[in-house]
Amino acid sequence: MADDEAERFTEQVLSLVESIPSGRVMSYGAIAAAIGHGGPRQVARVMARDGGAVPWWRVVHADGSPYAPETAVEAYARERTPLRGADRIVVDMPHAAWIPPRTTPGNG
């Protein structure tokens, strides 16, 4: 693959994650789908590289479980992110799942 494309993909992921509003989250697969390139494994790879420079806690698995629950749970409490329970560090995807404006496949 071309390094330029890899860099573009990285910026796409980071830019999209930074675009996620407070109290909302996106799954790895949703991010990959929104960008229209790669897959959840590729998004995760980008997060592992430069995820520390973006609100990574807004990026969760398809089931709503975050990468670092112990750290993310604090961020969710600050952003009022809807969880599946007070004792359950799992985001309520049906309510917290955020879809980026434009870049939505199927419309347009």
Contact between 43 and 32 under an 8 Å Cβ cutoff? The reply is: yes
- The footprint of DNA on residues 16-35 (CB under 7 A) is 27-30
- Of the candidate spans 45-53, 73-81, 97-105, the one that interacts with DNA by CB under 7 A turns out to be 45-53
User: Residue 44 interacts with DNA (CB under 7 A)?
Assistant: yes
Q: Cβ of residue 55: shortest distance to DNA, in angstroms? A: 9
User: Residue 98 interacts with DNA (CB under 7 A)?
Assistant: no
Residues 41, 85: Cα–Cα separation, whole Å: 28
User: Residue 75 interacts with DNA (CB under 7 A)?
Assistant: no
User: Residue 89 interacts with DNA (CB under 7 A)?
Assistant: no
Residues 79, 21: Cα–Cα separation, whole Å: 9
Contact between 77 and 18 under an 8 Å Cβ cutoff? The reply is: no
